[in-house]
């Protein structure tokens, strides 16, 4: 290769050389199991959420009188809108499942130990951002239970001494959950993915500073191989299996997570709240139970 070809080689350019260093030639322990594939799978889930969310936002109207109608418009009039909606809704659950498995692997194999403490701290920040984003994302459809979901979520802040009620009023944008609350939550639901992407990149950068852990927990600079093609092929097995599971979930069991919430509503909710088109998110059920118990007391 001539000097001119070396100078204009893509892999010699700063951006591509960085990508090559961290994604292709990244030194990886040779004994990693399939459990180490959930990190990259979580990144794919995040991309799916962002892409489907952007397309849904093109047709959604964040107004209390129009929000639910816009959801029905997406389902009935937008070509492939039903697929976008269920990919986004069930994709959030898929994202949480993958991240929980990723966390379990880190706990089991002590990936939080020195010198990777900062990786773990950033992971906790990402997980907290995901929880907040999931709760906020429950409000924009503005179905029959979105009002109560927003009430439950924001009322948790009232447990803070002295300033709790002031914070709740500030979150509502008034003295009750209304159009201002819906607009704020819709805006934050667009902002948080960008913060989540930034935190994920920092998480990845902190990981690559010292390299990945391995099942034995023994640090070695010698027993490492390039990430591509070995672990790309290995991770491909998990990605194909996850894609099959996700496809079955979307096309055959698209309302699977609504079954326990309907049973819960029949048992615990007041009669006027039982006729719900979209029940409580299973992620919000513990908090809704606390809220109902507080009202009964």
Domains of the chain: 35-216+225-255 (1.20.810.10)
Q: At what angle do helices 230-251 and 38-57 cross, to 10 degrees?
A: 50
What ranges in 109-145 are assigned the alpha helix state H?
117-137
What six digits make up the tokens of 184? 């704020």
pLDDT of 12 higher than 60: yes
Residue bearing the bigger pLDDT, 176 or 101: 101
How far CA 171 is from CA of 11, 123, 145, 166, 185, in Å, comes to 48, 26, 18, 9, 9
Mean pLDDT across the chain, nearest whole number? Answer: 82
Residues 6+ apart with CB under 8 A from 71: 60, 85, 141, 142, 143
Question: Which residues pair with residue 225 across a beta bridge?
Answer: 28
pLDDT at residue number 79? 92
What six digits make up the tokens of 73? 């418009």
Residue bearing the bigger pLDDT, 109 or 265: 109
> Tokens 């994302």 — which residue?
137
């Amino acid at each position: 290769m001539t000097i001119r070809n070396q100078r204009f080689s893509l892999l010699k350019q700063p951006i591509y050389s960085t990508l090559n260093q961290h994604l292709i030639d990244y030194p990886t322990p040779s004994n990693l199991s399939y459990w180490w594939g959930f990190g990259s799978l979580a990144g794919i889930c995040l991309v799916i959420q962002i892409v489907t969310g952007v397309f849904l936002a093109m047709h959604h109207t964040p107004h209390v009188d129009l929000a639910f109608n816009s959801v029905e418009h997406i389902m009935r009039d937008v070509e492939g809108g039903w697929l976008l909606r269920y990919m986004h809704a069930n994709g959030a659950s898929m994202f949480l499942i993958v991240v929980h498995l990723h966390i379990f692997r880190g706990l089991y194999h002590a990936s939080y130990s020195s010198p990777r403490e900062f990786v773990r701290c950033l992971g906790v920040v990402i997980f907290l951002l995901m929880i907040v984003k999931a709760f906020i994302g429950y409000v924009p459809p503005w179905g029959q239970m979105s009002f109560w979901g927003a009430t439950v979520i924001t009322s948790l802040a009232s447990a803070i001494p002295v300033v709790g009620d002031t914070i709740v009023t500030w979150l509502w944008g008034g003295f009750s959950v209304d159009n201002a609350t819906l607009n704020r939550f819709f805006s934050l639901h667009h902002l948080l993915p960008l913060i989540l992407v930034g935190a994920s990149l920092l998480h990845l950068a902190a990981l690559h500073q010292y390299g990945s852990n391995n099942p034995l927990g023994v640090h070695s600079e010698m027993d490492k191989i390039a990430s591509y093609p070995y672990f790309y092929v290995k991770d491909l097995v998990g990605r194909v299996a996850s894609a099959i599971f996700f496809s079955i979930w979307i096309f055959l069991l698209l309302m699977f997570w609504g079954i326990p919430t309907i049973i819960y509503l029949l048992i615990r909710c007041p009669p006027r709240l039982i006729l719900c088109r979209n029940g409580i998110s299973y992620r919000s059920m513990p908090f809704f139970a606390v809220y109902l118990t507080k009202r009964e007391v």
